[in-house]
Amino acid sequence: MVDTLVDVGGYRLHFRVYSGSEPAVLLESGGGADASYWDDLAPVLARETRATIITYDRAGYGESDLPDTPYDIRQEVAGLWSGLEQLNLDHSLIFLGHSYGGMLILVTACEHPEAVRGMVFLDAMNVEFIDAIGGIQALIDHPLSQHPFDRTKPENLTKPQRAALRVEAGLPDVVTLLETLSVPQHIPIRVITAGIAWWPKPEEN
């Protein structure tokens, strides 16, 4: 396994790569999770498929740096892609996105459709769901979205807590962008769901 920090232009992203064959599989975690979310699954996937498996910490999480710029999902994708290019992993990719990661892999596929061999949406967040519960502010205000820390004292926040607030501030623009995007037609997709009623209200599920 390669465990490395890559400068992607003003900040560094932390990557873990299990070397194998192509297509490579990039695992995009949800919410505030970092690469450690996949620590149990990634080596199993590498062993069972013999494919290259890629995990990474998004900006501000895990061992990655927190940029001092506002959150812009296209810039986040550009940072990821810069890292993949430097690792020579910017081609023949299957993306798997969990929860918020589903929105990230959609943007990535639309930015780099020529490199994507397939996509897997794993209990993925999507614009249709956000619209169904009342829009982006309703999602931010939802009890399951609340951050368990005091945001009135930013000097006491940890790096991942500051990263979470950075992402939250950028969510309206994320939704506006995703409303204009769809999976490129040549890319096969699979949707995996746990089938468990996780949200508290029947209409949300």
Which pLDDT belongs to residue 197? 85
Token code pair at residue 69: 């710029």
Q: Can you tell me the mean pLDDT for 25-45?
A: 96
Question: 195 versus 98: which is more confidently predicted?
Answer: 98
**Domains, the chain, ordered by start:** 2-192 (3.40.50.1820)
Q: Can you tell me the mean pLDDT for 38-57?
A: 98
CA atoms within 13 A on the CB side of 89: 27
CA 161, CA 165: separation in Å to the nearest integer?
A: 6
Query: At 86, is the secondary structure helix, strand, or coil?
Result: helix
Res. 150 pLDDT band, cuts 50 70 90: confident
Query: What φ, ψ does residue 96 adopt, rounded to 5°?
Result: -120, 120
Which pLDDT belongs to residue 153? 82
DSSP annotation of 38: G
pLDDT digits (tens, 9 = 90+) for 6-34: 999 999 999 999 999 999 999 999 988 99
Percent of the chain predicted with pLDDT > 90: 82
Using alpha carbons only, give the angle 107, 111, 113 rounded to the nearest 5 degrees. Answer: 105
Token code pair at residue 121: 């949406």
The answer to which of 22-26, 100-104, 149-153, 154-158 has the lowest mean pLDDT is: 149-153
Taking alpha carbons only, the member of 85, 38, 87, 95 closest to residue 61 is: 38
Whether 145 has a pLDDT exceeding 90, the answer reads no
Whether 3 has a pLDDT exceeding 90, the answer reads yes
Which pLDDT belongs to residue 203? 80
Which pLDDT belongs to residue 154? 80
pLDDT digits (tens, 9 = 90+) for 104-142: 999 999 999 999 999 999 999 999 989 988 999 998 888
CA 40, CA 4: separation in Å to the nearest integer?
A: 19
Residue showing tokens 């070397």? 19
Residue showing tokens 């501000």? 60
Whether 94 has a pLDDT exceeding 90, the answer reads yes
